Structure 1
Amino acid sequence: MSKISKLFKGSSSSSSSSHYPSSSKSKHGHRSRTGPTPQEAIHKLRETEAMLAKKQDFLENKIEQEIMTAKKNGLKNKRAALQALKRKKRFEQQLTQIDGTLSTIEFQREALENANTNTEVLKTMGYAAKAIKGVHQNMDLDKIDSLMQDITESQEVAQEICDAISRPFGDAFDEDELLAELAELELEESMTNMGRVPSVPAAKLPTSKLPSTRPSQRTPSKKRAEDDDDMQMLAAWAV
């Protein structure tokens, strides 16, 4: 076991024995809490990240200062320039260690945040499952089937009422008979148009309004007599 692990083990055991005794109880009679909550751990990790980020800025500034010191002394004071470069190397090593520490802390914080999120999601899902179970406990499948049958019967009755209301009043005629009668009427109409017009009685024909043909017969006979007289006069002149 390394010295560091022994050191942390000893400090943790001493701190746990002094601050968090397993058998001790608080004033209210409850057993003391053995560890921080996820929210507290996440908050502590973020504070550590901020502190290390400030330490990074400090080391970067110190590195820049040591570089300026080495450049300033140069060949004039070789010993001071070398000391500045040695300090710069130590600061760079510390900066590299802080970068690795920050990466580890960020990974741990992200894992803890994901675990906390999953825990909250599972809690919410369990809460919702209990609510659904409670709702279903108040439901009876037999009552649901009976209710659905009642709804179906009500819909059928409503459909029958609609059919009865929409049915026309009066005598019901056979559509086939009406079509046959219509065909006979169309046949009679076509026969009439082809010339089979029914005869009209003579007694019903108007006679008083017909024009008389006697004047037209007298006119040709009178003209014929005038022509005969003209012919006789021509014959007398010829003798």
Structure 2
Amino acid sequence: MSGWGLGWFGGGQAKKEAPKKAILQLRGQLEMLNKREKHLHNQMDEQDAIARKNVSTNKQVAKSALRRKKQFEHSLEQTSSQIMTLEREIYSIETANINKETLEAMKNAGTAMKQIHAGLTIDKVDNIMEDLRELHAVGEEISEALTSGVGSNGIDEDELDEELAELQQEKMDEDMLKTGNVPVHDAVSAGRERLPQAPRTNPKAPQLVEEDDEEEELRKLQAEMAI
């Protein structure tokens, strides 16, 4: 009973090892035939040498050598045919075994794909994707609701821009009073933030320039008189 059980469970392994065993046997036989082929070649060369040596002195010996050479040649032809047959069989078994292993691998891959896709249909996939889209939309709405109003505190951005423009204009006016020139970077920055405005005139600025010129002329005149 135990022997029957071992034979039953070991049948699959025996079938799997059968191609390998057959190839090993064929290769062993092929090695033996290759040795026989080489030996026959040597025998033919030997008989050919005997025939050539006695072709003039002893025709009977030469003829017998040629006869044996023909027999070896016939055996060589049979051996060469057997070698070709064995090589063809080995190739066929190897190819068949590779095809079998490839088909089994493909079959296992198909089984794995069926297990992976078990219970999945196009409708189920579409429903899952639709649920995910809805959940993402809900999440975005929740995020917007949680962050709405945070950081604004009711401040009007337009008012901030106007106040900033006024500060920039005041800075430009102060620079004009000090140097009489408008800084290029301030003018460019102010132009980007608001539309150009007419510069605020300072009536005292020309008067200061005129007074400075008069004082300079007066100093020159006093110097000339002192000389």
Matches within 5 A, 1:144-159: 145-146=127-128, 149-150=131-132, 153-154=135-136, 157=139
Please tell me whether Structure 1 or Structure 2 has the larger radius of gyration of its CA atoms.
1
- Are positions 1:183 and 2:208 aligned together? no
Which deviates more from structure 2 when the two are superposed, residues 114-123 or residues 97-106?
97-106
- Are positions 1:40 and 2:21 aligned together? yes
Letter of the 2:136 counterpart: S
Counterpart among 85, 97, 105 of residue 124 in structure 1: 105
- Are positions 1:172 and 2:157 aligned together? yes
| CA deviation after TM superposition for structure 1 residue 203, in Å | 10
| CA deviation after TM superposition for structure 1 residue 72, in Å | 2.4
Letter of the 1:72 counterpart: K
In 1, the alpha carbon distance for the partners of 2:74 and 2:125 equals 77
Deviations 1:152-192 (A, max 9, x none): 74388469859x59x97443229x9988982232xx25xx8
Letter of the 1:40 counterpart: K
Which deviates more from structure 2 when the two are superposed, residues 70-79 or residues 136-145?
136-145
Which deviates more from structure 2 when the two are superposed, residues 109-118 or residues 139-148?
139-148
Q: Which ranges in structure 1 are unaligned for 5 or more consecutive residues?
A: 1-25, 221-239
| CA deviation after TM superposition for structure 1 residue 62, in Å | 0.5
| CA deviation after TM superposition for structure 1 residue 27, in Å | 5.6
TM-score normalised over the length of structure 1:
0.55
| CA deviation after TM superposition for structure 1 residue 100, in Å | 1.8
- Give the % identical residues: 25
Change (3 A) 1:201 1:102: closer
Runs of 4+ aligned residues of structure 1 deviating over 6 Å after TM superposition are 176-181, 201-207
- Alignment size in residue pairs: 178
SS at match of 2:158: coil
- Are positions 1:73 and 2:58 aligned together? no
Q: CA RMSD in A?
A: 4.7
Deviations 1:120-158 (A, max 9, x none): 111111112112212222657637743663367438846
Deviations 1:89-117 (A, max 9, x none): 11112112221221122112211111111
| CA deviation after TM superposition for structure 1 residue 28, in Å | 2.1
Equivalence for 1:11: none
Change (3 A) 1:172 1:75: same
| CA deviation after TM superposition for structure 1 residue 38, in Å | 2.3
Equivalence for 1:55: 36
Which deviates more from structure 2 when the two are superposed, residues 77-86 or residues 123-132?
123-132
Change (3 A) 1:201 1:108: closer
In 2, the alpha carbon distance for the partners of 1:80 and 1:121 equals 61
TM-score normalised over the length of structure 2:
0.58
- Are positions 1:28 and 2:4 aligned together? yes
Q: Which ranges in structure 2 are unaligned for 5 or more consecutive residues?
A: 166-190
Deviations 1:189-225 (A, max 9, x none): 5xx8xxxx66449999979x95897xx7xx99xxxxx
Change (3 A) 1:72 1:148: farther
- Are positions 1:133 and 2:114 aligned together? yes
> Normalized per residue, which structure has more helix?
2
